[in-house]
Chains A and B, each alone.
Chain A
Amino acid sequence: YEALGPGCHLHPFNVTIKSDRRGTCRGTFVVHACVGYCESSAFPSKYSVLLASNFKHNITSVSQCCTISKMQKVKVRLQCGGSRREDIEIFTAKSCQCDMCRLSRY
């Protein structure tokens, strides 16, 4: 991704889709992602946090991450062999904001 400043912004990228139902439908489209730099910090934990974590969490991290706040479905047309076509719907980001990080993988 290109260099961006602080904040969380729409960013176009190419997606190539191949439909494998009969093999040969495909198309390349521009959709939007959200990319950016949101604030985060880490500092020594308060005593209450230490106590609650059995003195394991001696660091507290407070963070925001660049997220998709609105998604939109768009209809796109895949070209198959010959003159056959197939319409499908794909998602694109409509708006972005610095918001909760997904901290699912620990």
Chain B
Amino acid sequence: QPPFLLVSSIQLHTFTGCAVREFTFIAKKPGCRGLRVKTDACWGRCETWEKPVLDPPYIEAHHRLCTYNKTRYVSVKLPGCRAHVNPIFTFPVAISCECSMCSTENTECETF
């Protein structure tokens, strides 16, 4: 099983691999107030490479990123919702993380 990272750890600078890491965000939706939520998400550095090859497109890539492997879902009730607004906000919690492809099934894949 991948390790759980200690947030204050200096070793974050040198860490390689993909691990569950605590993450805080504001759960929000229109018509409710935000709620600060602490959860387990994924963070790390995955091994990736590109090498030149003889045939087009002349580069072969092995690109993986640190993302959720096993996931469970948690629902919270947002405060101060207007009468007609469903106050429930559901979000994923990482049980384990792994280096893998970005799946557009359930993931917004951003790269920069």
A-B contact number at CB 8 A: 170
Bound together, the chains give a CA A43 to CA B15 distance in angstroms of 19
Number of contact residues on A: which range applies? Answer: 35 or more
Main secondary structure, interface of A, reads strand
Check B25 against A6 for contact (C-beta < 8 Å): no
Check B107 against A42 for contact (C-beta < 8 Å): yes
B-to-A contact residues, CB < 8 Å: 13-16, 18, 21, 23, 25, 27-30, 39, 41-54, 58-59, 61, 63-68, 71, 90-92, 94, 97, 101-112
Bound together, the chains give a CA A93 to CA B45 distance in angstroms of 22
The 15 sampled A-B contact pairs (Cβ below 8 Å) are A1-B49, A4-B16, A34-B51, A37-B16, A39-B44, A40-B66, A42-B97, A57-B107, A59-B67, A68-B50, A71-B58, A100-B111, A101-B102, A103-B102, A106-B109
